[in-house]
């Protein structure tokens, strides 16, 4: 039997309401509620769900409550994947029963990375199931052969119906299951097309429940919206243990894998990969990777020493100040937060009396690197001033520091590793806020006006 009723589902957060509203009552987004038909299936016992599979002995999931101290400490110990960069991001490897969500734009290399992961685990004697809702088995085999991932332990299934994959998932023989992607698979227990909010939530919930019960790790691939957020309800990110985001420009061979959430380790780590014909290869020392073909004799270019996690990166920050013929000048940032750029420009105008109201300002980070480190404020301001005065900065100068609204330059975290890396690479002068002002090669500007005077004598 099935009871039908009309509900309205929010495309942003997945919340349901029996009546249409202009604003979602949960996430407060406007015009996100869409009508759908909810069919609640019932059986003679009053439940439409099949009996839950029995948990493995000694797991404590999801049977009777157990004393946590009686459980083995190795019950959730991560297992190395064979890919060093990925292991570091995951906190040592894939933990049994864990769930990982990997998001990124199309063509960035998500499927390539996961097929390499599947091949590495399969060659180590661990069972892997790759469920593809986007590619055929022939396409998967061709790519696996090119990547050298073919192995007897690697099984594949091409389907867009969850019921086709449930028998394999319920067997619990795999150590890793990859679902590529969660937006292309539909569950018969929920109405709607694949990729809708209800379907994404239902498919993820069923897969994650089986992963917890059977003890295998699962990786879900998620599409992204045009704003760069993972498509589907925000609840999806709360359901999983780890959220990874892959970034990169198709015109560039470098790919950046970031941790947005991690219950097993740090959420401030990243790994850099290079796209090769044989797959993604980790760049072990990416500290100067994004400085290729840099010309320090040009104005508007500044070198920043940024930190992501515990790794220092040298990043070229570029800025262009051009006369504007618009009523409202443009402010554009690539790899740079536009809101932060507007804030820094406002501080420049206020504290230095620099008239930028008639100038278009464009800023970007070279190499497609997207940075959120507040320590890049000083380099971004230096690049803008360099372009505004059309005078290049010192060729080997490096900058880091946070700018506050009063025009003061504040210290940032990771100062010691930034300084050590800058000295190792031989860059000087070093412009940074620090407590000791007597060190050789280090210039300590206290305010924005002090920085302007030291660089341009203005």
Do 351 and 421 meet the contact criterion of CB atoms below 8 Å apart? no
- According to DSSP, the residues that pair with 3 across neighbouring strands are 40
Here the tokens at position 208 are 């994650």
User: Cα-flanking dihedrals φ and ψ of residue 380, to 5°?
Assistant: -65, -40
Which positions ≥6 away from 116 have C-beta within 8 Å? 83, 147, 149, 279, 280
Coil/strand/helix, residue 67? coil
Is there a binding annotation on residue 108? yes
Is 438 assigned a ligand-binding role in the annotation? no
Matching residue, tokens 């930190």: 307
> Is 194 annotated as a binding-site member?
no
| Strand (E) or helix (H) holding 26 | none
At 279, list the tokens. Answer: 């797959």
Q: Is 283 annotated as a binding residue?
A: no
Q: Is 386 left (phi over 0), alpha (psi -120 to 50) or beta?
A: alpha
Q: How wide is the angle at C-alpha 296 spanned by C-alphas 291 and 301, nearest 5°?
A: 80
Q: Does residue 55 have a known ligand-binding role?
A: no
- The answer to whether 104 is annotated as binding is yes
Establish whether 142 is an annotated binding residue: no
DSSP characters for 229-296? SBSS-THHHHHSSEEEEEE--TTSSEEEEEEEEESSS-SS-EEEEEEETTEEEE-S--TTGGGTT--T
Note if the bond before 429 is cis, omega within 30 degrees. Answer: yes
Strands 331-334 and 359-365, by their bridges, are parallel
Tell me the sheet residues that pair with 158.
132
Residue 221 labelled as part of a binding site: no
Cα–Cα separations (whole angstroms), residue 213 to 48, 154, 166, 242 = 19, 22, 13, 18
Give per-residue burial for 44-68: e unless 16+ CB within 10 Å, then b. eeeeeeeeeeebeeebbeeeeeeee
Of 206, 162, 236, 190, which Cα lies nearest the Cα of 53? 206
- Binding site residue list for ATP: 104-111
- Binding site residue list: 104-111
């Amino acid at each position: 039997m099935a009871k039908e009723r009309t509900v309205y589902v929010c495309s942003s957060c997945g919340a349901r309401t029996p009546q249409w509203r202009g604003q979602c009552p949960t996430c407060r987004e406007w015009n996100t509620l869409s009508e759908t038909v909810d069919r609640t299936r019932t059986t003679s016992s009053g439940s439409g769900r099949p009996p839950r599979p029995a948990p493995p002995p000694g797991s404590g999931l999801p049977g009777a409550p157990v004393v946590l101290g009686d459980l083995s400490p190795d019950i959730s110990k991560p297992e190395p994947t064979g890919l060093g960069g990925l292991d570091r991001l995951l906190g040592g490897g894939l933990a049994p029963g864990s769930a990982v969500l990997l998001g990124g734009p199309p063509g960035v290399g998500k499927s390539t990375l996961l097929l390499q992961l599947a091949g590495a685990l399969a060659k180590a004697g661990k069972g892997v199931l790759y469920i593809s809702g986007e590619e055929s088995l022939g396409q998967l085999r061709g790519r696996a052969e090119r990547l050298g991932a073919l192995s007897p332990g690697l099984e594949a299934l091409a389907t867009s119906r969850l019921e086709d994959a449930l028998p394999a998932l319920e067997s619990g023989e795999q150590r890793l299951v990859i679902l590529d992607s969660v937006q292309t698979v539909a569950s018969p227990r929920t109405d709607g097309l694949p990729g809708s909010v209800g379907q994404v939530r239902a498919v993820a919930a069923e897969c994650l429940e089986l992963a917890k019960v059977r003890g295998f790790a699962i990786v879900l691939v998620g599409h992204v919206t045009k704003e760069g957020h993972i498509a589907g309800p925000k609840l999806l990110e709360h359901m999983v243990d780890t959220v990874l985001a892959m970034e990169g420009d198709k015109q560039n061979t470098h790919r950046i894998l970031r941790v947005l959430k991690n219950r097993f380790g740090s959420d401030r780590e990243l790994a850099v990969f290079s796209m090769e014909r044989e797959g993604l290869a980790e760049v072990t020392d990416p500290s100067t990777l994004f400085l290729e073909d840099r010309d320090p004799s040009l104005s508007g270019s500044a070198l920043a020493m940024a930190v992501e996690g515990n790794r220092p990166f040298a990043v070229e920050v570029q800025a262009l100040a051009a006369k504007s013929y618009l009523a409202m000048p443009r402010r554009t940032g690539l790899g740079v937060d536009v809101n932060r750029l507007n804030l820094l420009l406002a501080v420049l105008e206020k504290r230095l009396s620099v008239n930028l109201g008639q100038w278009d300002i464009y800023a970007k980070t070279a190499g497609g690197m997207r940075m959120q480190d507040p320590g890049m404020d000083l380099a971004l301001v230096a690049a803008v001033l360099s372009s505004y005065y059309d005078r290049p900065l010192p060729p080997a100068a490096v900058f880091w520091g946070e700018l506050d609204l009063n025009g003061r330059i504040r210290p940032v975290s990771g100062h010691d590793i930034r300084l050590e890396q800058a000295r190792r690479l031989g860059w000087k002068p070093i412009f940074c806020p620090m407590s000791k002002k007597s060190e050789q090669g280090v210039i300590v500007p206290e305010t924005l006006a002090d920085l302007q005077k030291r660089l341009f004598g203005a």
